[in-house]
Amino acid sequence: MFGRQLVLAGLGVAAGLLGALVGVGGGVLVVPGLVLLFGVDIRVAVATSLIAVVATSTAAGSVYVGSGTANMRLGMTLEVATTLGGITGGLLAAWIAPSVLGALFGVMMGITAVLMFRARESHAAATATEGPRAGWEDTAHLGGGFVDERGAVVAYHAKRIPLGLALSLVAGVASGMLGVGGGIIKVPAMALGMRVPFKVAAATSNFMIGVTAASSLFVYFARGDVHPAIAAPTAVGVTVGALLGTALSHRIAPKALRRVLAVVLLFAGVQMFLRVFGVTLGR
Amino acid sequence: MIVQGALRAGLGVAFALLASGMIVAAFAGEAAARPVALRALFGPLDLGSRLMGLGILVLGLTPVLRVLLLVLLWVREHDYRHAMIAAFVLLTLIVSIAFGVPA
């Protein structure tokens, strides 16, 4: 029992650490890790991942002084759609065959891998600017401003809110069904779709994903998909790894690491996808 | 800030529960991982699973706490529009939790 706890915690630490260094959520690594390496049922893996996402989101929120550049009003407005999506996704997961869920997850991993190859700014770099309160929110409109690293004041207004809400709904469903944070959809939705500066989008997304994950987590908890013996060590490991990774992110250049991780994601994603056809490589 | 303190407290309680549950479970030598539904936490259950399960519950409630604090903060700032938006999100979360409560 203790041995298994240790191994699961180790998987968690690796997922959290790599995720924080490279700027992807731990979920995209936890779920395939549990499914492919431990043979865990995907719904249990998703529930475990959601718990880990909540843990890291709350941990980040408790460590960073103030909200930094995150726009809570924007985040909360979008969360109206994301939480509804999260519950929907969590409920839908019961109706979709595990192998199909795995295949969907594989596709998502492939997309993440491609985006990682192309990413110029990393999530980690963006959130590394969190610190003493350097931003503000415009309460009348969904906008605000912040002081960037050069000391220049950047003001912005969020545009195309209906589009943002629609994409947030999709992100919520993805989070609820696949156990990921959804940042991979939310950050571009805010940055590209809503014309919000990237740093604000990344920081706001980090705040949002915990709320979204909680909304779907309870659906899984109700259904009995939570295995505490699996979830507890994994969540502890992911949190430790994420905090470690955030502390180290200043010293490690993410580019090479991101490339390696993208290849791993692609390989694991293909494996997840092939399982729907009954093809299992290795084990 | 109050929010940081509250989140840290919540996280601390959650992790204390998770860690103690893991230790109890390891010494009790439970054979297989067992699924635990939310409502089962309050019924007959081995101590290790109960502690870990409660830790997961507390963890899941920390974002709920975060949203609640924002409702209160925005009411205090007289930003009633966003306080109501946050209250709606809070309601959604409560509905989600209610799924776990026996009908």
Query: Average pLDDT over chain B, rounded to whole?
Result: 89
HSE of A56, CA atoms in CB hemisphere, 13 A: 36
Q: Global pTM?
A: 0.88
Nearest CA in chain B to A5: B22
Question: Measured over all CA atoms, what is the biggest interatomic distance in chain A, rounded to whole angstroms?
Answer: 57
pLDDT, one tens digit per residue, over B6-46 is 889 999 999 999 999 999 888 877 654 688 888 888 888 88
What confidence score (pLDDT) does residue A122 get?
46
pLDDT attached to residue A132: 43
Return the pLDDT at A68. 64
Is pLDDT of B90 > 60?
yes
Residue A220 has a pLDDT of 94
Which tens digits make up the pLDDT trace of A150-189? 666 777 777 788 888 999 999 999 999 998 877 778 888 8
Tell me which chain B residues have a C-beta less than 8 angstroms from the C-beta of A90. 96
The residue of B2, B64, B99 whose CB has the most chain A CBs within 10 angstroms, and thus the best one to mutate to test that interface, is: B99
Look at residue A149 in the predicted model and tell me its pLDDT.
62
What pLDDT does residue A279 have?
Answer: 67
The pLDDT tens digits of the residues spanning A193-203 come to 888 888 788 88
How many angstroms separate the Cα of A124 from the Cα of each of A15, A173, A226? Answer: 14, 24, 29
Per-residue pLDDT, averaged over B74-89, amounts to: 95
- Closest of A6, A9, A3, A1 to residue A239, by C-alpha: A9
Element (H, E) at A146: strand A143-147
Tens of pLDDT along A35-48? 988 889 999 999 99
Instruction: Look at B1 and A235 and tell me if their CB atoms are within 8 Å.
Output: no
Quickly list DSSP for A209-261: HHHHHHHHHHHHHHHT---HHHHHHHHHHHHHHHHHHHHHTTTS-HHHHHHHH
Are the beta carbons of A228 and B49 closer than 8 angstroms? yes
Q: Which of B1, B57, B59 to mutate to test the interface with A (most CBs of A within 10 A)?
A: B59
pLDDT at A271: 85
pLDDT at residue B80 is higher than 60: yes
Running along chain A, 283 residues long, what does each successive block of 10 average in pLDDT? 86 87 78 90 94 88 66 91 94 89 88 76 45 60 70 76 90 90 81 82 85 94 92 93 81 76 84 77 52
Chain A nearest CA to B49, separation (Å): 6
